[in-house]
Amino acid sequence: MEWQPDWGLRVRMFLTMFLLFALYIVFAGVITAYMGGGIVVFALLFGGMSLVQYYFSDTLTLKSMGATTVSADEYPQLHASVERLAQQADLPKPTVAVIDSNMPNAFATGRNQRNAAVAVTTGLMRTLDRDELDGVLAHELAHVKNRDMMVMTFASLLATIAFMVVRWGAFFGGRGRGGRGGGGVVVAILVSLVVWIISYILIRALSRYREYAADRGAAAITGRPAALASALAKISGEMEKVPTEDLREEAEMNAFFIIPLRSGIGRLFSTHPPTENRIEQLRELEREL
């Protein structure tokens, strides 16, 4: 298989970002009208801090997940696989990191293709054979190739600002023009809540599609869709066997994992499509080959 640009993913990314920008233009207008300049200053400050976080997203994400950057001397086979697959994907070799956890999982992070990192857990390396691990690594590299982390991180920053306005709007709104009577604060908070909910749904919808795209990308990189399908089946089965306290406390990172941690909120709000659907897509690709 040859790597083909996923125009379906690109169109969805463009539409999601366009809708989010349009939504936040309305959001900014309402907040300014009802809560005055104080909340705008807050949003700018928080946005600036978020952009700094985004710029150092690879380092901060690895640290927050307890991932340790490893050398080729420590994990020669892992490094060799990442380097080989990165070459096949026409990508710079990303930073390689390992998480000491029984939870079999992996994720990619970084703001662009030249500042990316791929992390795997020790549980994943114990669970999968070499071809299956290659499939998972190729899936994460496909996310890097598609620039998924950049789009998802930026979109999430906008949603986070709306959420923080909902949380702290009353405090800052009390200093604005609408804050004295209280009605303006209520309106602004309700608008922020609606914006956050719509953003949440848009981001989740994009996140589910990008998983299908990354699976197809992994199949193109390795030429072995069945290996990734086997890995997904193994991982989803093993996820139910590990202690609940393990990596599950990092459920907010679901969008970046190859298999999401169980959160109990249903498929509508899941960051990933059903695993069985992903496996069926990969089996169909295998049949085509």
Per-residue exposure over 21-44, b if at least 16 CB sit within 10 Å of its own CB, e if not: eebbeebeebbbebbbebbeebbe
Q: What residues pair up with 98 in beta bridges, in sequence order? A: 68, 120
Query: Which DSSP category does 246 fall into?
Result: T
Q: What is the 3-state secondary structure (H, E, C) of 108-164?
A: EEECCCCCEEEEEEHHHHHHCCHHHHHHHHHHHHHHHHCCHHHHHHHHHHHHHHHHH
* Residue located via tokens 């662009």: 112
User: Are 203 and 152 a contacting pair, CB within 8 Å?
Assistant: yes
CA-wise closest residue to 39 among 225, 222, 243, 179:
179
User: Are 86 and 94 a contacting pair, CB within 8 Å?
Assistant: yes
Cα–Cα distance, 145 to 150 (Å, whole number): 11
240 noted as active-site residue = no
CA-wise closest residue to 152 among 209, 197, 76:
209
Query: Which entry of 132, 140, 211, 238 is annotated as an active-site residue?
Result: 140
Copy the structure tokens of residue 102.
């029984």
Q: Which residues does the annotation mark as catalytic?
A: 140
